[in-house]
Amino acid sequence: MPGGKFALLEVPDLNGGQPSYLRLGAAAPLGESAGDDLAERIQTFTDDTRKRDGSPGFVSEAERQAETAKLHTKGGWRDHSDGNRVSTTKGNKVEVIGGNYRLLILGHGEHQAGWDISGGHITEVSETFGGGTTIEWVQNYGGTWKVVETTIKGEVHTTYHGDVYDTYYGKIKQSQTGTDTFPTLQVTDDYLDDTNPPSPQSIPTENPEIIDNTWAKSISSYTGSEKLPVPKITNETWAEVMVSKTHATSMTDETTVKEASTSTMKAESITSSTTVDETMEDTTKAKTIKNDTTADKIISVTHADTKDEMYGDADSYTKGDSKTVVDGIETTINLGMVNEVVLGAMVETTLGGEATFTAGGTVEVTLGAKVELSMTASVDFSIGPKLELGTAGVELHLSKTEVALTHKVLSAFNLFF
């Protein structure tokens, strides 16, 4: 309280009217002494309103504020100088503070910067950047101190030579670069008010350019493990233009899906190009494979000797005209029964030699007009019995050989059954 005993050492006219003094004991009323305009700038500590309910050594907010209210009236040590204060210590220096500590530096003006050490925590105050640090007690993990650091502006250049280990544990690890909302300020208005950085203000939200370069002896990335897989991974990419290039000596890509896998692509047009110097192998194993293609036109061009092997029944249906052109020799071998049914007109033309060999039963049913035209020699050879049934005759023979340089069969209608 004001009043009481004190000792005062004062130089009232230092260097042309600049006072300096040291007062020990009872405090003088704030505002009566030189330098009180600076002292009254500090009236509180950060810990006066810090949330710390449930923390060890808990002191209520009212008690903390009541103690701070006596800051300028409790007395003790008070000194001031209108000049400079220089302190040198050649040996050790020890300062023990039983209460709180706050440092405020004005920088020959109104640029506030300093430290607040209160309640066992350090908080920085600076006009270099907008933002700050908040520390409070939370009930997470059975009760702990939580530190939240906010930096609104600044520039960081980091060069580090040495080993780096980053380990994170916690409930959330979130990273955000840029924003998907429109900028709050125009880029030309890239301005922050430095007179009061901690105050809320409109912050420019210009999205940056991101450049990531990596050179390394090896790169390994692991997400989850066989023992503890990640329950869910979601990846979304939205871009106007995407360019991806990969150059490697060898590549191995393996994907294992225990349950269903779905892949969807939508595009105006798709161009895919694959160049392989030697062999390209594609293996697919599945119980059922379904391919559904809808297009106005499908064009397939293959420049290679081809070999197709199929084990199993084959069922093919074509709705529309079908044309097959073979520019060369075609050999078809059927090791079993061949059933050919034509429900309509059939035109078969051979402009070259034709050899037909049947080592088993052949059933040919034509329900419609049939025209066979051969412009060269034709050989029909049958080892087994051959039965031809017509409306006017029956031919049955065990062995028959026909050789003719010219063989013409012309009929308006032939019915064989």
Confidence at residue 365, expressed as pLDDT on a 0 to 100 scale:
61
Higher pLDDT, 163 or 360: 163
Q: How confident is the model at residue 367 (pLDDT cuts 50, 70, 90)?
A: low
Q: Is the pLDDT of residue 394 over 50?
A: no
Q: What percent of the chain has pLDDT over 70?
A: 75
CA distances in angstroms from 94 to 22, 76, 405, listed in the order given? 21, 19, 126
Strands 144-151 and 354-358: unpaired
Confidence at residue 1, expressed as pLDDT on a 0 to 100 scale:
44
Confidence at residue 183, expressed as pLDDT on a 0 to 100 scale:
56
Q: Is the pLDDT of residue 199 over 60?
A: no
Give 48's DSSP letter.
Answer: G
Task: Give the residues across from 389 on adjacent strands.
Answer: 394
The one-letter amino acid code at 255 reads T
Asked if 105 and 113 touch (Cβ cutoff 8 Å), the reply is yes
Question: How many of the other CB atoms lie within 10 Å of CB of 148?
Answer: 9
Run of H or E residues at 78: strand 76-81
Distance CA 288, CA 265 (A): 22
Query: Can you spell out the DSSP letters for 212-279?
Result: -----S------S-SSS--S--------S--------S--------SS--------S--------SS-
Is pTM, for the whole model, over 0.75?
no
Confidence at residue 193, expressed as pLDDT on a 0 to 100 scale:
52
pLDDT in tens, 105-146: 999 888 888 999 999 999 887 776 666 778 889 888 788 888
Segment 33-60 shows an average pLDDT of 93
Query: Can you spell out the DSSP letters for 353-376?
Result: -EEEEESS-EEEEE-S-EEEEESS
Q: Which residues contact 356 (CB under 8 A, 6 or more apart)?
A: 379, 380, 381
Task: Give the residues across from 77 on adjacent strands.
Answer: 24
Closest alpha carbon to 255 in 265, 246, 263, 266: 263
Q: How confident is the model at residue 416 (pLDDT cuts 50, 70, 90)?
A: very low
Q: How confident is the model at residue 402 (pLDDT cuts 50, 70, 90)?
A: low
Mean residue pLDDT of the chain comes to 81
Confidence at residue 23, expressed as pLDDT on a 0 to 100 scale:
95
Strands 346-350 and 370-374: parallel
Helix, strand, coil content of the chain in percent (nearest 5):
5, 20, 75
pLDDT in tens, 155-174: 778 898 999 999 998 888 99
φ, ψ for residue 132 (rounded to 5)?
165, -170
Distance CA 165, CA 390 (A): 92
pLDDT in tens, 312-355: 888 888 888 888 888 888 888 878 777 777 777 777 777 666 66
